[in-house]
């Protein structure tokens, strides 16, 4: 094997969880990261800089924060996250499990806020370069169940309500249908253990991991 092949083999896999608010991604991302001994991270807020951005962009005290500002802040968080956390971990041969990535911006800002998927994708390409996840797990729960799980303590984006939630859900399904090689839809209804087993089966089948 050439040296280049060895380096390519040594690179970790990048797995992303996506889904609407209250779908249980954070719990499932943590479970999978533990199972794979992977680096667990999230967007927004996966770095110290990102934690500041997250606090700002989700703060319900800023109702005036505009949709374009929101998209730019998410992309800025991601740029820092890719450079500081994701790329170095993958390059060092670690698997990375991220709770949300570019598809969140395409769904929430591109479709949900109506900025356009292409415009938001371009913005994110500038921020993140050519990094593409090896697998995106879409955790699918019905909107009623998700809103029950969310409760009443809502951040600025969650507070945008059921129209946004339903646009986001439909866009995720559209992306998954467009790129079935990269996306896997997993039923997020049921106990944490049941869903974790479904996720593990998909990751094993698609990437041969676990
Ligand atoms: P998340 O951390 O998944 O929510 P929670 O705090 O409930 O675990 O995401 C925070 C919010 O940010 C969520 O409403 C989705 C939104 N979001 C976007 O609108 N665009 C993005 O690019 C990302 C990463 C998140």
pLDDT of 3 reads 46
pLDDT of 209 reads 96
pTM: 0.93
Distance CA 124, CA 71 (A): 9
Which of 44, 51, 172 has the most ligand 1 atoms within 8 A of CB, as the residue to mutate?
Answer: 44
Residue 143 token pair = 């909107």
- 191-200, Cβ contacts within 8 angstroms, sequence gap of 24 or more: 192/24, 192/27, 192/28, 192/31, 195/24, 195/28, 195/139, 196/28, 196/31, 196/32, 196/35, 199/28, 199/31, 199/32, 199/137, 200/32, 200/35
pLDDT of 26 reads 96
For the four alpha carbons of 188, 192, 196 and 198, in that order, the dihedral sign comes to negative
pLDDT of 148 reads 83
Give the residue whose CA is nearest to atom 5 of ligand 1: 21
Give the residue whose CA is nearest to atom 16 of ligand 1: 157
Q: Find the 82 Cα to ligand 1 centroid distance in Å.
A: 17
CB within 6 Å of ligand 1 — which residues? 21, 26, 42-44, 58, 74, 99-100, 104-105, 108-109, 157-158
pLDDT of 9 reads 60
Which of 17, 18, 20, 21 has the most ligand 1 atoms within 8 A of CB, as the residue to mutate?
Answer: 21
Please, where are the H alpha helices in 11-66?
25-36, 48-57
Local confidence pLDDT in tens for the 210 residues of the chain:
444 444 456 899 999 999 998 889 999 999 999 999 999 999 999 999 999 999 999 999 999 999 999 999 999 999 999 999 999 999 999 999 999 999 999 999 999 999 999 999 999 999 888 899 999 999 999 888 788 888 888 888 888 887 889 999 999 999 999 999 999 999 999 999 999 999 999 999 999 998
């Amino acid at each position: 094997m050439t040296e280049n092949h060895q380096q390519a083999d040594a690179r970790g896999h990048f797995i992303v969880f996506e889904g609407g608010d209250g779908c249980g991604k954070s719990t499932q991302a943590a479970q999978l990261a533990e199972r794979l001994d992977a680096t667990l991270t999230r967007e927004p807020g996966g770095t110290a800089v990102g934690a500041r951005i997250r606090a700002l962009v989700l703060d319900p005290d800023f109702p005036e924060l505009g949709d374009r500002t929101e998209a730019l802040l998410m992309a800025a968080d991601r740029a820092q996250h890719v450079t500081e956390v994701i790329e170095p971990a993958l390059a060092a041969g670690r698997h990375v499990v991220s709770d949300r990535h570019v598809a969140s911006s395409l769904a929430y800002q591109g479709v949900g806020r109506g900025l356009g998927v292409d415009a938001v994708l371009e913005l994110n390409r500038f921020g993140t370069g050519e990094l593409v996840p090896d697998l995106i797990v879409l955790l699918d729960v019905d909107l009623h169940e998700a809103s029950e799980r969310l409760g009443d303590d809502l951040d600025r984006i969650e507070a945008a309500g059921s129209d946004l939630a339903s646009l986001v859900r439909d866009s995720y399904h559209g992306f998954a249908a467009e790129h079935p090689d990269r996306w896997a839809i997993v039923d997020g209804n049921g106990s944490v253990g049941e869903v974790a087993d479904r996720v593990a089966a998909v990751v094993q089948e698609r990437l041969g991991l676990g």
